[in-house]
Amino acid sequence: MDPRISGFDYRRVTVADGVSLNAAVGGSGSPIVLLHGFPQTHLMWRHVAADLAADHTVICPDLRGYGASDKPADTDGTAYAKRTMAADVVALARELGHDRFALAGHDRGALVAVRAGLDHPGAVTHLASLDVLPTLDMWDVMHGTSAAVGFHLYLMAQPPGLPERLIGASPDAFFGHFLDVWAGDPEAIPADVRAAYLRASREAVVSIVADYRASAGIDVEHDRADRGAGNRLRMPVTVLQQDWGAALGFDAAARWRAWAPDLVHLPVSYGHFMAEEAPAEVVKALRALLDR
């Protein structure tokens, strides 16, 4: 059996027709939902969730397409749109009794969180993003040889067929690569958790690729529409981010400020998997956000 978040209950919650999410739920108090990144599952929040559960209801789902959550086929290009995945999160919280909640996301989960904040401002009270840019900005800053760091974005943007075959031929090598090169402290992901991440990812190649493919298509369309309409995040926002701007030549805080007027932008020195590498610092930032 895969590791679990100690002291949390596990539930399957129906969030859409034919789609249920696996979610770990613990604690009591005002709710906060924590969304994982790639190539991970809800387990990445195990340290942060345990701390926050002292005085909050903490909900840690596997996103659709990941972990033990359902992985619907993407028949029309919308099944893994961040708009669809954000609606899952709002439905999950509502089914658990929460019409309003704070929301934090890492990596892919942060893109879902941003879309939830834009589409459901009445539901999301506070928003935190760990180590990404909004989708439209991500593509804007990727150029020249420096874009090689994001090779996986371009691979999984290709039409259905080739990416799935290539990744499926050696999934542990592919997904393990990111666990290795993105970690500032490899010891932060112990062997049993790493094995759980790799097992979950190898069983979800098609849906993970669909998630990324959406970010090169329909998600960009949605972001462009919001930018054109002047739609921005109305709630307090905190961003924790490695200094990718220095490497790729952009001002990350300015990029975020265009979307989030009430912004705290915190450059960090630890690795990409910050909720596992520096959980105390992440908790400190989240608690400060919740006090705003």
- Which residues are identified as catalytic? 107, 272
* DSSP character string of the chain: -----TT-EEEEEEEETTEEEEEEEE--SEEEEEE--TT--GGGGHHHHHHHTTTEEEEEEPPTTSTTS-----SSS-TT-HHHHHHHHHHHHHHTT-SSEEEEEETHHHHHHHHHHHH-TTTEEEEEEES---HHHHHHH--GGGGGGGHHHHHTTSPSSHHHHHHHHSHHHHHHHHHHHS-S-GGGS-HHHHHHHHHHHHTTHHHHHHHHHHTTTHHHHHHHHHHHHT----S-EEEEE--HHHHHT--HHHHHHTT-SSEEEEE--S-S-HHHHSHHHHHHHHHHHHT-
